[in-house]
Amino acid sequence: MIPSETDLAGQRILVTGAAGFIGAALSHRLLAGGAEVAGADNLSDYYDTALKRARLARLAEHAGFRFVPLDIATPGALDALWAEVKPDVVVHLAAQAGVRYSLDNPRAYATTNVGGFLEVLEAARHRPVRHLIYASSSSVYGANTKVPFQERDPVEQPVSLYAATKRSNELMAQTYAHLYGLPLTGLRFFTVYGPFGRPDMAYWKFTRALFAGEPIPLYEGGRLWRDFTYVDEIVEAIARLTVAPPAHAEEPGRIAAGVPHRLFNIGNDSPVMVNDVVRLLERFTGRTAIRQELPMQPGDVERTWADVSLLRAAIGFAPSTPLEVGLERFVTWYRSYHGLN
């Protein structure tokens, strides 16, 4: 069954990382479907907090939304919130993002991504929920060369600490599902983009550089391939999954038949070369790129590509927005947000 928006009516949903890119977009989608949403976030200054506050300001317009400033990595910090909200579903998106940042700030990843997820799992262990969804990443595929990436592929070659922490999350989830029967679904996101996105992402950096007349850094000469996935379709998939917890042993995405834990890729199943991203942005901004070709960076991979057949089998939906459409929407938003002509 494909859940409809009305299926979310009356659902109490806790979203961690609610001031983040995906967290804020998801909260909007859940609220539109009739859910009550409690959003937790520590408003980390990894990037400009003004953008995070702008996202929250839009969410504050909804009567069903409540924001709670909270660092999930603080031991026990979630207990009181969990007891008060009594969530039916938890969507855990709070994390330290970014591959290259992990090279210089590894402890931030261990604290937030590993320690923070442990706090979420412990809270769910003591106050069980109907479904706990958590964010993983396409980065877990690391140095794999077989494409498209499938959930059953070996993921034993991470090339960044960020990837290692996300793979750790998947193993932790499998353990808690096995030991305590927690219904868990992990989502491997593939290069999410769109309005109100993250300024550290390549498409945002390229757009800013085009408007500023600054060079665009192109690693490996822009010949890397990425499976860009439009944010609205990411959150649509999550919204449908909230009311579709692990139900039976043979369903798509199961790691082990007797354990209520699934993994799904969420990508566009249509990789695009970074050079093509630049060409599209040149068209939509009306600017000409100043190219700065640089060597491959530590932690980078040559290609990402999501096989989404398991996701489609589970919820009857998978992302499909062409990059040309999504990037034009982003540039339109970017002009408005920054007051550009």
Which positions are annotated as active-site residues? Answer: 162
Q: Count of CB atoms within 10 A of residue 283's CB?
A: 13
Asked if 251 and 293 touch (Cβ cutoff 8 Å), the reply is: no
Q: Are 223 and 232 in contact (CB under 8 A)?
A: no
The dihedral formed by the CA atoms of 257, 259, 260 and 263, expressed in degrees to the nearest 10: -70
Q: E-assigned strands of the chain?
A: 12-16, 36-41, 65-69, 89-92, 131-137, 184-189, 192-193, 215-219, 225-226, 229-230, 261-266, 272-273, 290-294
Q: Which residues contact 286 (CB under 8 A, 6 or more apart)?
A: none
* Residue type for position 313: A
Could you tell me the sign of the dihedral formed by the alpha carbons of 230, 39, 98, 335, in that order?
A: positive
Contact yes or no for 134/187 (Cβ under 8 A): yes
- Buried (b) or exposed (e) across 198-237, using 16+ Cβ within 10 A? beebbbbebbebbbeeeebebbeebebbbbbbbbbbbbbb
Residue with tokens 């590509």: 305
Closest by CA position to 136, among listed 285, 255, 10, 9: 255
Structure-token pair, residue 251 = 């369903």
Largest CA distance in the chain: 57
